[in-house]
Structure 1
Amino acid sequence: MEHQASAPISGFSPAWPPFGPDVRSTASVAAHLQAEAVHAMMRCQIEFLSFLNHRYEKDFKLIDDLITSQETGDSFEVLGEFMQSAVTEYATEAGKLARINSRALYAAADRIRDGARVIADDMSAATVG
């Protein structure tokens, strides 16, 4: 059985592309925002994985230092230094990740502001022309 196209809805004329220039501008802005979000996420992941690699190396060193420590007092000193270092480094890393996210949000705000300006200009040009 052949498929027959249904009659078009009265008053509706499909056009290609199925959206106007203001929607294309909005879609472009949204695509750029998504790309920036992916870049920011990747920067955070790279930074954090690098940090984890560094911390795992310190974990291995802790195990070696604990094995080679001669007395119980030495073990407590080694563990105390490790914990102090870990707390400081995790706090520093949290600051780095916050800065990366802050920069990404600032860039996104700029992109939204620029996109809104372009869309407003396109819409005003469409109403004038």
Structure 2
Amino acid sequence: MDSCVFCKIVRGEIPSEKIYEDADVFAFHDIHPAAPIHFMLIPKLHIGSLDEVEDKHRSLLGEMMVLIPRLAREQGCTDGFRTIINTGRVGGQEVHHLHIHIVGGSERLPAMIHHPR
């Protein structure tokens, strides 16, 4: 997609702090980190959201899932990390290109959703 910000990052039209790239995926630091370690892994193929994933994407998604722990360790997540995929309006997705946030650091991350008691 010509106007997609993440597609522009993949094409090098928008600068990013790249941490990994291969033929299928691209990983870079989040420009507004929510934790001491916060990067994103995206497919180079434009997929609008997790809701648009099809069977033909199975191998790509598997590659991404296998890559995440290695990249997390390389970035300093030695005692765990969190993966987040925001999907659609209700899920809080802001950029409509499938992306996985990987967040961590040295302290325990806060709860994601607070349940009323």
The structure that is strand-richer by fraction is 2
| TM-score, scaled to structure 2 | 0.26
TM-score of the pair, normalised by structure 1? 0.24
Which of structures 1 and 2 has the bigger CA Rg? 1
Higher RCO (C-alpha under 8 Å, 6+ residues apart): 1
The structure carrying a bigger helix percent of its residues is 1
